[in-house]
Structure 1
Amino acid sequence: MYKVVKKRELTDNIYLMDIEAPRVAKSAKPGQFIIIKNDDKGERIPLTIADYNRLEGTVTIVFQAVGRGTKELANFEEGDYVADFVGPLGQPSEFIHENLEDLKNKNIIFIAGGVGAAPVYPQVKWMHENGIDCDVIVGSRTKDLLILEDEMKNVAGNLYISTDDGTYGFNGRVTDCLKYLVEEKGNKYDHAIVIGPMIMMKFMSLLTKELNIPTTVSLNPIMVDGTGMCGACRVTVGGKVKFACVDGPEFDGHLVDFDESMRRQTMYKSEEGRSQLKIEEGDTHNHGGCGCKVE
C-alpha cells in the first residue's frame, strides 16, 4: 500500500498527488513513468513521473480525471492508500546520459501542451539543477487550464506562456509561439523536447523539421497497459515497430508516424477495430495481450 501524502487540484479536473514510494523515488529519472492501481482489482494507470523527492521518499504524479480509473483516483484524499505503485518504468530522457559541458553549450527548448507540462517539469528541473538554462513554452487552450506555471518559473531560463484564445501570455498555439521566437526574435535552438497531446506533437514536429531543429517527443499519452502486452502504444518510428512503454516513451519526433498512431488509438477502442488491426498488421501484431486471439 502506498500513502497519498499530498493532493492538490491544479485546475478543473486536473490533480497533483505526492505518493509515498521511497524505492521508486530513489531510482526515478526524468522521462520515466509509473503504473498506479487504486485497489487490487483496479485498472493499471500509466502516468509520467512529474517530480520526485529522494529525501522524503515521494513521487509526484499529475493526472486528468477523464476515465473510470483516474476519476476514482481523484476521490482519494491525503492519508488514503493506493494498492500499487510500480516504477520507475520506461527509458529515462536521453539527455541525462550526455556530457554536462556539451549540454551547457546547447540551446534547448522544452515545449509543453496542456497536461504535458507535468512530465516537462522534472526534465527542466534536472537541467536547472545541473546549471543548464533552457527556454520553455507552456501552452493551454485558455488561462484557466494552465498548470505548474510557478514551479516552471523557478527552473526555466526563459518561460513563455501561450494560450490558444489569447487570455494569457502569447496569443496563439505553441507552434505559433515557437515560430515567433525563431523567426521574429531570432532565437536559435539546437534541440526541442515536446510533450503534449498527440496532435500537438505531430504539428510541432512538422514545424521543427521545417526549422531544422532536432526534436524529441514523449508518447506517454498513448500508453494503456505499460508493459508492451496490450499493444495499444504500438507505433512506427523510422519504419520500425516500437512500443512506447518499453522502447520509449521518448522518440525522435521527426521519425514517428503520428497519423498511424492516432488511427490505431481510435480503432483500438472497439473489438472490431482490434480485429481489423490484427488483419492489417499480420505477424507484427502478435504481441498477445490486446484481447485479439493470437494463433
Structure 2
Amino acid sequence: MSLGDSQSNGDSARSDDGGYGGTGQTRTRYHDQGTGGPYGGARRPKSSRGMVTGVAVVALLIAAIAFANRGGDDSSTSASSTAGSGSGGSAGQPDTAPTAASGEQPVTKKAAGIPTGFAHNREGAQSAAANYAVTLGSTGMFRKDTRDSIVDALFTTEAAAKLKGPLDKAYSASFLTRLGLDANGNAPEGSTFVSRVTPVGTKTVSYGGATATVDIWYVGLTGIAGETSTSPVTSSWKTWTYDMSWSGSGWKIVSYSEKDGPTPVPGDDRAADSDEINKAIDEYGGFTYAR
C-alpha cells in the first residue's frame, strides 16, 4: 500500500524424557544396611537434606521464570521487586509491554493522536518508523484535512511542503470513486471503509545519529466491508523505506519509497464475510509499536 494507492507456525515442540542421572534405574537404600549392593554400599539417607534441595530447586525455577517474564525492567524496579515478597511483584505481572521485544518501554505520549517521543537511537528510529507506517496507512490519509495534519506531524517541514500537492493529486476524486468512496473519502452508508497497516518487522538499513534509514515490512488491509460492496477488503504485502532525520525533539521522515513483498504463500483460510470484517474492525484496536 503506497501513500497514493489503495492499500502455521509450526511449533516445534521437543520432549526430553530422560531418567534421573540418565541411568533409567531406581536406587533403593535401607537405613541400617551395611556394605554391598550394586552401587557400592548404601548410606543412611538424610531426608532433611533432600527436602531442602528439592525446595531450593523449585524456588530457583520460579525465580528464573519470573525473571524471564519481567522483560526489560530497569535496575531500580528489579531491585524493589526482589526485595519484596516472593510472589513476583505487587501484581505478579510483567512490567514491560509485550510489544517491547528488546525491553525498551513503549512511548506514552501522543501528538495529534500519533505516538511520539521515540528514543534517539537505532531502536527509537525503528519504533518511530513502525508507528508512522500505521498512521500513513490509515483511513485518515483519504481525507484532505486529516491527511495534511498527518503529513505535517510525520514529515520534516520541507518534505511536507513538497508532498501535499502530489498527495492531493494521488487521492483525487476519481481515485476515491474507484475505491467506492465519495469525494470526501467516506464509504457508502451502511458500509465500512478499511485501511490498515500492520508492521511485521523493521530493519535499520543505516544509522548516523542524526539520520536513519529504516525498512518496514508490513501487511496492508484495504477495501469496503458491506453487503453491497464491489471493493471487498483485501490484503497486500509491501515494504516501506523511510529516510529519517532527528529534529531535536523526535524523528521525522525526509523521504520514502515502497516495494512489493516479501509476500508469503496464501493459506487455505476461509475468507470472512462483510459482517465479520465490520465486527473485527470495530472491536480490534491497533498497537503502539516499540522495539
> Under a length normalisation based on structure 2, what TM-score does the superposition of the two structures give?
0.23
Higher strand content, 1 or 2: 1
